[in-house]
Amino acid sequence: QKEVEQDPGPLSVPEGAIVSLNCTYSNSAFQYFMWYRQYSRKGPELLMYTYSSGNKEDGRFTAQVDKSSKYISLFIRDSQPSDSATYLCAMTGSLTGGGNKLTFGTGTQLKVEL
């Protein structure tokens, strides 16, 4: 069993839709949860991170963590064609001290169509 499971997609939605992206994980030591966005031919860029359980909102993006279910989600409201990218979840037990090991999901490819 992989430590982090993520549906690779592709996921295709119409412009303006609410998008839900999800990951499940098995390691209960994970405390920090991140979402990265990767455009084609680019490196991943950090969208947001959440510590432990709860919600975090940033503009059109909301990250949710449910540690009891080992389940994390990223919601994108009013999706735009510019949101078309691969979304990677990542997690780690510690995010201080430098040299932290992140465990990534495979990424979900999202396409937002006009």
Partner 1 sequence: ETGVTQTPRHLVMGMTNKKSLKCEQHLGHNAMYWYKQSAKKPLELMFVYNFKEQTENNSVPSRFSPECPNSSHLFLHLHTLQPEDSALYLCASSQGGTSGGTDTQYFGPGTRLTVL
Residue from 19, 25, 30, 32 in contact with partner 1 (CB under 8 A): 32
The answer to the question of residue 29 lying near partner 1 (CB under 8 A) is no
What are the C-alpha distances in Å from 69 to residues 25, 26, 28, 64? 9, 10, 10, 12
The answer to the question of residue 87 lying near partner 1 (CB under 8 A) is no
d(CA 22, CA 75): 9
The answer to the question of residue 8 lying near partner 1 (CB under 8 A) is yes
Strand partners, 63: 56, 74
Cβ distance to partner 1 smaller for residue 35 or 62 = 35
Whose structure tokens read 């430098």?
Answer: 98
List of residues contacting partner 1 (CB under 8 A): 2, 4, 8, 32, 34, 36, 41-46, 49, 51, 88, 90, 95-107
